[in-house]
Amino acid sequence: MTVPRIGIAGIAIESSTFSPHRSTLADFRVTRGADLLARNPFLAAGAPLTQAAEWVPVLHAVSLPGGAVTEESYRALADELCQRLCAAGPLDGLLLDLHGAMSVVGRTDVDAGLVERIRGIVGPSALLSASMDLHGNVSRRLAAALDRLRSGGRPVKAWVPVPVLLPGEKTSTRLEPARGLYQLVVRAEAAEGVLDAALWVGYAWADEPRCQAAVVVTGDRVEPVRAWAGRLAAAYWAARRDFGFVAPTGTLAECLEAALTSPARPFFISDSGDNPTAGGAGDTSWSLAELLTRPEVTGGGLTVIYAAMVDPAAVAVAVAAGVGATVRVFLGGKIDPGPAGPVELAAEVIAVDDGDPVAGTAVLLGVGGLRVIVTARRKPYHLESDFTALGLRPLAADLVIVKIGYLEPELYRMAADWRLALTPGGVDQDLLRLGHRGIVRPMYPFDPDMPDPDLAPELL
């Protein structure tokens, strides 16, 4: 029995065009050969799909979200991927592991451009399938260049752009209306004649014409595919005003007041404007500067953790001084100086961890009861172990402030209560103050009173 030859490849990053950070080749983890097969759980030993096809590893590159990718770095990755694809020989299909919100300096709709280049290599008969993040931006170009890997030949495909652009913190499936909308996606996939249905909310912190919500439905019968695509798009548009933040929000001052007057411990606050897992620079210092003006935070009566600030120069000073020394550093505001610039900080070096695989070296600086984590490389703090590596006990803290948007599952379980602070930065939750110019208008919420759009599905 002859099985199809299916390649695996992709370049994945979420890129904020409002952040001055630039993502380079050094930010990507590149996987090739047998290691690429091993990173896919569906190809684990004994899994049914291992025998269903000959799986051909090409190249996969993935990065922590950040600013736009430099042209040189993108070209190096894309060129190697395409060279390896050419060397792989004829393929019946290709599984593309993308994110869908990659931006490259000087380019637009780069995910579509990559898939079109790949299509030129594998030819018109190979089926191209892509897995993407919920926050991918699915343009007509990208939708047209892709298929879905299913038996029975190339499927029918309907695409609908929906002129709504909301942050992930407003579209969490923990809450309605997103929970109900994704239950409707499951119903669509179960319908006769439909093979797959997908709804993307888009990526709000890039400024390109492709940035908006989108629906794609595929199947083997035109009418149910078209009907379900239209139904999903209409449902999302109808719910646009019902989306709310996943947690109570406020200014940083309002969130601090709630934390300081609450008996709940530990109390978490999201410093959302500089969330590195959404593309923030990771060194916006505005919130830290505000904290340093609050005697309740620095006075020593409370245990307050701030995670984290990327600043390799400050880390080097702390490491050279050693644990127990007092150092004076100008912290943060070097990648993204916009909101505050570097903040002067005189602090004790509490701990050093020089073995962090993501941060490189992390140091803990203390000012009264405030503990500030500073890293040599950008790192999100999502796990209790991230804190305990520096001797911190977040569950015993009064207040934990994290550069994040919605709390990741482990932090969510740890928090006795939490607030989402609407702070400035490259991934500001207040989209209207970012200054989008490249999106297609009208668009909700930028044009809240816009007329209802034409949501007729287009067959591609």
User: Are 206 and 277 contained in the same domain?
Assistant: no
429 is written with which tokens?
């939750």
From the CB of residue 18, how many other CB atoms can be counted at a distance below 10 Å?
23
End-to-end CA distance of the chain: 33
CATH of the domain at 234: 3.30.70.100
One-letter amino acid of 116: E
DSSP 259-327: HHH---SSEEEEEGGG-GGGT--S---HHHHHHTT-HHHHSSSS-EEEEEEE-HHHHHHHHHH-TT-EE
* Residue whose entry in the numeric block shows the structure tokens 């990327």: 310
Domain membership of residue 267 (yes or no) is: yes
Q: Show the domain range for 128.
A: 1-133
User: Are 302 and 386 contained in the same domain?
Assistant: yes
Q: How many residues does the chain have?
A: 460
Q: Assign 57 to helix, strand or coil.
A: strand
One-letter amino acid of 127: L
Q: How far apart are CA 60 and CA 328, in angstroms?
A: 42
Q: How far apart are CA 361 and CA 16, in angstroms?
A: 25
Strand 326-331 with 343-356, pairing: antiparallel
Contact 450, 212 (CB under 8 A): no
Q: Give the pLDDT confidence score for residue 420 in this predicted structure.
A: 98
Q: Give the pLDDT confidence score for residue 380 in this predicted structure.
A: 96
Domain membership of residue 31 (yes or no) is: yes
Q: Give the pLDDT confidence score for residue 228 in this predicted structure.
A: 98
Running DSSP on this structure, what letter comes out for residue 64?
-
DSSP 212-248: SEEEEEEES-HHHHHHHHHHHHHHHHHTGGG---SS-
Q: Give the pLDDT confidence score for residue 174 in this predicted structure.
A: 87
Q: Provide the number of structural domains found in the chain.
A: 3
Q: How far apart are CA 140 and CA 157, in angstroms?
A: 11
Q: How far apart are CA 24 and CA 68, in angstroms?
A: 9
Q: Give the pLDDT confidence score for residue 11 in this predicted structure.
A: 98
DSSP 77-90: HHHHHHHHHHHT--
Give residue-wise pLDDT tens across range 137-174.
999 999 999 986 445 567 899 999 999 999 999 999 88
User: Are 82 and 49 contained in the same domain?
Assistant: yes
Domain membership of residue 123 (yes or no) is: yes
Single out the residue in 244, 271, 300 at which a domain terminates. 244
Using N-to-C axis directions, what is the helix angle for 71-87 and 110-122, rounded to 10°? 20
Domain membership of residue 455 (yes or no) is: no
Average pLDDT, the chain: 96
Q: Give the pLDDT confidence score for residue 149 in this predicted structure.
A: 47
Instruction: Please report which helix (H) or strand (E) contains residue 178, including its range.
Output: helix 178-190
Domain membership of residue 36 (yes or no) is: yes
From the CB of residue 268, how many other CB atoms can be counted at a distance below 10 Å?
26
CATH of the domain at 128: 3.40.50
User: Are 123 and 239 contained in the same domain?
Assistant: no
Domain membership of residue 49 (yes or no) is: yes
User: Are 258 and 359 contained in the same domain?
Assistant: yes
61 is written with which tokens?
């590159």
Contact 380, 404 (CB under 8 A): yes
Single out the residue in 85, 100, 133 at which a domain terminates. 133
Nearest to 378 by CA among 286, 291, 273, 275: 275
Task: Tell me the whole-structure pTM to 2 decimals.
Answer: 0.95
User: Are 296 and 364 contained in the same domain?
Assistant: yes
* Residue whose entry in the numeric block shows the structure tokens 């609050």: 294
User: Are 123 and 158 contained in the same domain?
Assistant: no
User: Are 223 and 253 contained in the same domain?
Assistant: no
Which residues of the chain, if any, have pLDDT below 50?
149-150
User: Are 117 and 215 contained in the same domain?
Assistant: no
Contact 401, 89 (CB under 8 A): no
Q: Give the pLDDT confidence score for residue 150 in this predicted structure.
A: 46
Domain membership of residue 26 (yes or no) is: yes
Single out the residue in 229, 244, 259 at which a domain terminates. 244
Contact 25, 81 (CB under 8 A): no
Domain membership of residue 147 (yes or no) is: no
Distance of CA 272 to the CA centre of its chain: 13
User: Are 425 and 278 contained in the same domain?
Assistant: yes
Nearest to 331 by CA among 307, 309, 362: 309
User: Are 293 and 358 contained in the same domain?
Assistant: yes
User: Are 237 and 110 contained in the same domain?
Assistant: no
